[in-house]
Chain A
Amino acid sequence: MKKFLAVMMALAMIVALLPAALADEALEPITVTVFRGDPGDQPTDDNKIYKLIEDEFGIKFEIEFLAGDLDETLGLKIANEDYPDLFDGGNSAELIENAGALIDLLPYITEEGTPNLYKHIYTDNRVQQLLHDGKLYIIPNYGINYNGKIDNAPNGPMFFIQKQVIAWNNYKVPTTLNEYFDLLDAFIAENPTNKDGNPYIGFAFPVEDWRRFGLINPVQHLMGRPNDGEVIIDVTTDDYATTTFINQSYAKDYYKKLNEEFNKGTISRDTFVWNYDQYIAALSTGTVLGAFDQGWNHGTAMDALKTAKMDENTFLGIPLVYDESYGYGKIEEHYVNGTVMNKDRGFGISVNCQYPERMINLFENLLSDKWQKILQWGIEGEDYYVEDGRMLMTKEQYDQRSDAAWKKANMALTIWESAPKKQGLMDDGNAWAPGDQAEMYFGMMTEYDVNFLENCGVRVPGDFFDKTLELAPYGEAWQIDKAPIDIDYQDFLTIQDQTLPQVIMADPAEFDAKWDAFVEAINPSCEVYSNFMHEEVLKLVKQALGE
């Protein structure tokens, strides 16, 4: 009996070891550590998409989400060289690139070895825009479109106004700054409070920390330029003249307007001390009528309003410019650029990763049509269905995609969001992202929104914007890494953080003096900053033109 047992044990061992010995080395199961520079929810252990990935590639993920401040978290990781295998540095990925935390991906991407990735980044010579000193650290997570870009609802920087105000205005949508504030003032004059008796706040914007774009970015858009961060770049000149706008007279126009509105009571001074949570809380009550913000920055507030069936309080994003009375001639709006690659955002592979080839191989395979459908749409028959070649979801299937608990178990969100992905249209005309599929977009709009847009005379919110505008060769200048001048940049921002609110809250009689003092204080750092940006822009242009 003992002997028999021993033989059986030996046999069992051999049987157990055989597959491992025979299997491709690439399938040896591994656990990959992942950091994502955004907060998020851990997927469930039996998440169905992660399970598919594990079955096919033998890769399990151990994901760490951002908790707390991004720069500080990354700073600590860098100081300790504690890098995960797949490293998504979120909005501050420059820090990890500069710290040497990521490997160069370029040598791994070849036409034969990784055709999907090769096509992904070499089409239209995209790779030229992505390189840092000839090295590719991160393949963009968003902004690489196939068969054109779909933009039903631009989500970037713009002015926002509550839909009820537009409806009150007989669905006439303002197009200039003056029209916008006139409308807000007129609305408040007639409706000082909402139906619960809470007073309306006319206009607000986020100011906390890096979200200060709400305070310091609008001027470039009013002048008809896209989001280039804190500079205006003259693309009509050969040398891309680059200048900060905050110290210019056309910035004074905007802040003078804000000063007037502040003194009328349209802007609350609490705006300047709200942190992000308080800002979102204010928006979620539906008492803030207008804002300058980026669409993605207040999605939670809009969701809250929709859930509360307060559709008329949700925002409509619109492009505003200075009217001709400001003396800058007729300005054409340019809020939305053509395709913008989300440069330096997404997964990089860290120098600590022991399996770079397998990671590249994973990205390559996930970029295949089959896996892109799984990641973006889910499993056919479970998460979506196909009718006459069109990929569709029932209302239930679509709704569950905004259910946090369902997502944890049924979507590989982290991988979907941070890994290279296809956007735009599939070759068969279906959209890569379910939200971009025309039938779905309209099917999922609330009745209020359908009627609202119809009354405004447009099909989708994106129709308010000119979407035919081309992206400048340098991309969008806000993406430029300011690390080489970070202290000067900090000073540049600190002065604005502190002084702009004081300028806006000034007594009208003192406005000019305060503004002049502000310009004088900020001029030195403006000069450093615009010179630096100019050089970087020229470098990028050179790179993009392949010189």
Chain B
Amino acid sequence: MTARAGKTVLKPVRKKGFWKTLWGQKQLMIMSVPMLLYVLLFNYGPMWGWITAFQDFTPKRGLAESPFVGWANFQWLFSRPDFIRSIRNTLAMSVINLVFGTVSSILLAVLLNEVRNKTFKKTVQTVTYLPHFLSMVIVVGMAQNIFASNGPINKLLQGIGIIKQPVFWLGEGQHFWWLVGVINVWKEVGWNTIIYIAAMTAIDPSLYEAAAIDGAGRFQRILHVTLPGIKSTFMVLLIMNIGHLMEAGFEIQYLMGNGLVQDFSETIDVFVMKYGISKQKYSYATAAGMFKSVVAIVLLLGANFIAKKLDEDTLI
């Protein structure tokens, strides 16, 4: 577009004016207005409530009357060992969920992709994604029975001789993160598989044929055709998930946590609930929420930046 020094100056291509472009895409613009309004109203609108993070807010005094306290609420947060722990727990469970979730769903998707029997494939797919629709309350209730001291898992492990004494799964903190990971895989693996299977169906079959002609076995075809074929989907999902790293979930930790494991079970969301809503420390809760959002934005932009550097598909 721009002329290089020392060469004939080319007439720059006339850029259409902003308004002209806008007018040209007026149908699209009109269609996006409701979304824009939605985002403004429900995502940006409430953000001005962040002001309470810098106030000593009580409902009695209201927003206008509550005094400003600067960074005091944040200082309080970072002076709390339980808040620091909640950050650690959030990140740990997120990473476990991300790794377990991604690996398990890609694995299942690849396996299903190789299955030639349609009925079998459909059945497995349905069976594995149904738990997605179960409420976490039910899932945790089941897990509490399954992992109880005299529950089936302990009986099984004792039966095949891996352990001698039943393991106190629900009462020992070091198991908690992994239990959350396992439960999440059980609940979401089928659902997460759907998008990878969709990506695999988009792979050109002639690639497989070419690979077969070149003498690639089934395993090699998976390695060199299927997996590269879903790489862009994988990257997009990865970036999105990294943006969600600060959200390790709330329900499962809230429901399955107890006094004994609280050092490992409390996530930032549980912390916010505990102090913000139950104890009416709205300012502390808002500060914690704000911190979480800022970190999430940084993570998202960071992941996107790195993806760009690696010359991969990026999200934004």
Contacts and interface: CB of A to CB of B under 8 A. Distances in A.
Given A270-B149, A498-B260, A79 B282 contact: yes
Contact of A99 (B82, B149, B277, B280): B280
B32 to A, nearest CB: 31
- Looking at B144, B274, B276, B278, which has the most chain A CB atoms within 10 Å of its CB? B278
Interface residues of A, number: 32
B279 A273 contact: no
A99 B259 contact: no
B71 interface: no
B139 to A, nearest CB: 14
Nearest to A207: B259
Given A498-B263, A501-B260, A273 B170 contact: yes
Interface in B285-310: none
A273 B258 contact: yes
Contacts of B263: 498
B278 A501 contact: no
A72 B277 contact: yes
A134 B218 CA distance: 83
A494 interface: yes
B16 interface: no
Interface string B76-105: 000000100000000000000000000000
Nearest to B259: A497
Contacts of A497: 258-260, 262
B149 A272 contact: no
A332 interface: no
Contact of A494 (B82, B148, B261, B282): B82
Contact of B259 (A72, A95, A98, A272): A272
Given A79-B59, A99-B60, A490 B279 contact: yes
A444 interface: no
B280 A272 contact: no
A234 B105 CA distance: 63
A71 B278 CA distance: 5
A486 B279 contact: yes
A76 interface: yes
A106 interface: no
A269 interface: yes
Nearest to A100: B60
A502 B259 CA distance: 10
18 contacts: A71-B277, A78-B280, A79-B59, A99-B59, A99-B280, A207-B258, A212-B259, A269-B168, A272-B171, A272-B259, A486-B279, A487-B279, A490-B279, A496-B259, A498-B259, A498-B262, A498-B263, A502-B260
Interface of A: 69, 71-72, 75-76, 78-79, 81, 95, 98-100, 207-208, 212, 268-270, 272-273, 275, 278, 486-487, 490, 494, 496-498, 500-502
